Amino acid sequence: MTILRGLEPRLEESKKNWLYELPKVLWSYRTTSRNGTEETPFKLAYGTEAQLPIETRSPSHRVVNFDEISNIEGLKTNLELLDEVRDWVVEKMENYKEKTKLYFVKKTKIREYEVGDLVLRDTEASKPTNQGKLQPNWEGPYIVKEVLRPGTYKLNYLSGIEVPNTWHGARLRKFYQ
């Protein structure tokens, strides 16, 4: 998905050029640090940061002060420390995942229904092709037939016929008469 978002603005004029733009987008993806790790995928794979193509053409601090012997020693040191960096990144990712989980759990409203409750069903989930501005957002009512596990329900039509599939509580809403 990220790569597609990177290609999209580059291909506004000609969609046929995606093959020539893909290496640039991949380079950008591999040399950009991630939120969760604070490291680039390139560094995690090779132990050092990538030198940008523009740095080879212009006299940057890195190019002007380049010393091959100290560079080789630095690369060896980076490779020796790579396992430690990767372990540190694993810890950072676990912390990031936990913070993300807590954020979304805090925002999640759990809807629980009991057998016999009347509910409405989200039309976007039941008939995704029939969506339009003037179409109703909810359909029903339906009767909760069975609670399979918290948040997952089997429904019946009011006539008693079973509705196919199971339904998640996020796609249901309580119906009040």
d(CA 47, CA 53): 18
| pLDDT at 144 (0 to 100) | 93
Over the stretch 114-158, which tens digit does the pLDDT of each residue have?
899 999 988 877 666 666 677 788 888 999 999 988 889 999 999
Does residue 76 fall inside a structural domain? yes
d(CA 62, CA 175): 66
- Grouping H, G, I as helix, E, B as strand and the rest as coil, residue 67 is coil
State which of 85, 107, 129 marks the end of a domain. Answer: 107
Q: Is 44 in the same domain as 101?
A: yes
**Structure pTM?**
0.49
Does residue 12 fall inside a structural domain? no
Does residue 167 fall inside a structural domain? yes
Q: Which of 1-15, 51-65, 153-167 is least confident?
A: 1-15
150 contact partners, CB below 8 Å, separation of at least 6: 110, 112, 169
Q: What percent of the chain has pLDDT over 90?
A: 12
CATH of the domain at 129: 2.30.30
Does residue 169 fall inside a structural domain? yes
Tell me what the mean pLDDT of segment 152-167 comes to: 90
Q: Which of 8-22, 24-38, 65-79, 95-109 is least confident?
A: 8-22
Q: Is 89 in the same domain as 38?
A: yes
Q: Is 103 in the same domain as 122?
A: no
Whole-Å CA distances, 27 to 18, 53, 56, 89: 14, 10, 15, 21
Does residue 16 fall inside a structural domain? no
Over the stretch 53-71, which tens digit does the pLDDT of each residue have?
777 777 777 777 777 888 7
Q: Which of 1-5, 72-76, 162-166 is least confident?
A: 1-5
Does residue 4 fall inside a structural domain? no
Q: Is 99 in the same domain as 37?
A: yes
- Grouping H, G, I as helix, E, B as strand and the rest as coil, residue 165 is coil
Render 28-52 in DSSP notation, one character per residue.
HHHTS--TTTSS-HHHHHHSSPPPP
Q: Is 80 in the same domain as 56?
A: yes
Q: What percent of the chain has pLDDT over 70?
A: 90
Which residues are 120's β-sheet partners? Answer: 173
Give the number of domains in the chain.
2
Q: Which of 17-26, 69-78, 80-89 is least confident?
A: 17-26
The sheet carrying 118-122 orders its strands as 167-168, 152-156, 138-149, 118-122, 172-174
Tell me what the mean pLDDT of segment 74-79 comes to: 83
State which of 72, 107, 142 marks the end of a domain. Answer: 107
Residue 106: pLDDT above 80? yes
State which of 107, 142, 165 marks the end of a domain. Answer: 107
d(CA 172, CA 134): 20
Does residue 140 fall inside a structural domain? yes
Please give the residue range of the domain that contains residue 140: 118-174
Q: Is 44 in the same domain as 93?
A: yes
Does residue 7 fall inside a structural domain? no
Q: Is 36 in the same domain as 77?
A: yes
Q: Is 91 in the same domain as 40?
A: yes
Number of residues that make up the chain: 177
| pLDDT at 14 (0 to 100) | 64
pLDDT bin (cut points 50, 70, 90) of residue 7 is: low
**Coarse DSSP helix, strand, coil percentages of the chain, rounded to the nearest 5 percent:** 50, 15, 35
Of 20 and 173, the structure prediction assigns the larger pLDDT to 173
* CB 4, CB 18: distance < 8 Å: no
